[in-house]
Amino acid sequence: MSRSDDGILRFDDSGPDHGLVGDPALIAAVEAHIAEHYGPESSTWKHPVSEAEGSPIFLRLVRPRDGRPALTAVTVGMSEKPMVAGDREVSAELVIVLPPDWSFEPEVNTWPLLALDQLAHFPHQYGTAFEWGHTVQNPYPWSPNGMNGVLIADQMLLTSTEAESLEYDGRKIVFFGVYFLHPDEMQVKLDKGVDRLWDLCVDSGICEAVDETRPSFVPPKRRRLGFLRGR
């Protein structure tokens, strides 16, 4: 890991193994939390690479229901190993929301699930942590419209505040929302800080709901004819 001149922490490919072995009791507790707060009908999705590498992390895809007319994807197993943030330990799972009619065919439409799986493994592979306000930038766009970053923040689309966290084995597991961002939106964090980024997300209605068609909230730079400059 290294910090570049632009203030971005960069991680190379030499990070440690995820170190996860699977905890049946934890998985049962997380799945019970998901069934209670997001919906009882769901299916399992696992990244082929993660499955081949023996990772116990998978996604629970919760079907739409009354009161929550959306498809919800939640990681299961990320919280097995607490993340270290300074002198604190943080345990978390990640959540995104998709339109109820979202189809995962063709395969390119699975990009939100691929991104969520990658994010769930990231802290364990590189010995870092996710907390509120952290951002992650991918070298390659996750989405077809070029969104290449995410903000880790509170869920906005909750039916109950009790869905925000789970008490398990003496520790608190936080269920963070994942906000997909455009490159110029990520730049706001670098230039003006996460509080400004958060304010713009709230003002623009951006949350953990995936909308691959939305434009960036950063207005395009105004261009002026050369002979008008200075006026």
* Residues 9, 58: Cα–Cα separation, whole Å: 27
- Examine residue 224 and state whether it is found in any structural domain, yes or no: no
Residue 223 placed within a domain? no
Number of domains composing the chain? 1
pLDDT at 44 over 80: yes
Give the pLDDT score at 230: 53
Report how far residue 119's alpha carbon sits from residue 178's, in angstroms, rounded to the nearest whole number. Answer: 9
Residue 8 has pLDDT above 80, yes or no: no
Q: Which residue type does 187 have? A: Q
Cβ atoms within 10 Å of 134's Cβ, excluding its own: 17
Task: Give the range of the structural domain holding residue 97, as residue numbers without chain letter.
Answer: 20-212
| pLDDT higher than threshold 60 for residue 226 | no
Rounded to an integer, the average pLDDT of 24-32 is 97
Domain membership of residue 48 (yes or no) is yes
The continuous run of DSSP H or E covering 116 comes out as helix 111-126
Mean pLDDT, residues 169-198: 96
Higher per-residue confidence, 3 vs 96: 96
Percentage above 90 pLDDT, the chain: 74
Report if residue 14 sits inside a domain: no
218 in a domain, yes or no?
no
Q: Using omega within 30 degrees of 0 as the cis cutoff, is the peptide bond preceding 141 cis?
A: no
pTM of the predicted model over 0.75: yes
Q: Pairing mode, if any, of strands 135-137 and 149-153?
A: antiparallel
